[in-house]
Amino acid sequence: MILEAAKAKLAPYLVPIIGTLVVVVFGAFWWLWSDREQLLEKNATQAVIISNAAQANRENVASIKYLEKDIAWREQKAIERQRRGRHRDKQLAQTREELRKALEDAPECVDQPWPDAVFNIMRRDTVLDPNGDRAGEGAGGVPGSDSDSRAGG
């Protein structure tokens, strides 16, 4: 009996309250559903951006590895060039010392013209004789006729 009396007194208030609750729940559901669609679109856009960034990252890593190998190769070549340069400088110093000693031993030969064999050796593999086909020829085609005063002829 008490329950029926409470139902009778609360019935006029329950319908509007339940109706309001249904409207609020439906409104919240609609709002959340529309927000979900926006978030799904944003998520798809960000997934594409992340995929593109990952691809760019893979390409950059490959490029970095290639450049590191190239740098190592260039460093190796630079070290080889330095070794060759030191070896060449050592040979040059040795040859200069030999020439200096030769000049000390024979100072009267300094003002004499050099023989053609010396010019052939000096011209070998130079700009004046790049192919080695002018062995012994001077400027006029005659052996020993080089007009260069340093050449002695």
CB within 8 A of 129, min separation 6: which ones?
A: 123, 135
- Phi then psi for residue 65, to 5 deg, are -60, -45
Max mean pLDDT range (29-38, 115-124, 142-151): 29-38
| Residue of 126, 112, 120 lying closest to 138 (CA atoms) | 120
**pLDDT band of 129, cuts 50, 70, 90:** low
CB 139, CB 147: distance < 8 Å:
yes
pLDDT of residue 100: 80
Is the distance from CB of 128 to CB of 134 less than 8 angstroms?
Answer: yes
Read off the DSSP letter of residue 115: P
Residue 140's identity, in one-letter code, is G
CA distance 54 to 78: 36
Q: What is the pLDDT of residues 7-35, one digit of tens each?
A: 778 778 877 888 899 999 999 999 888 88
Question: Concatenated DSSP letters for 12-28?
Answer: HHHHHHHHHHHHHHHHH
Taking residues 104-110, report their average pLDDT: 63
> The whole model's pTM is what?
0.42
pLDDT of 60-102, one tens digit each? 999 999 999 999 999 999 999 999 999 999 999 998 888 888 7
Which of 25-39, 70-84, 116-130, 132-146 has the lowest average pLDDT? 132-146
Tell me what the pLDDT averaged over the chain comes to: 80
- pLDDT bin (cut points 50, 70, 90) of residue 136 is very low
Give the mean model confidence (pLDDT) for residues 27-51.
93
Q: What is the pLDDT of residue 134?
A: 52
pLDDT > 90 in the chain, percent: 41
Q: How far apart are CA 135 and CA 118, in angstroms?
A: 11
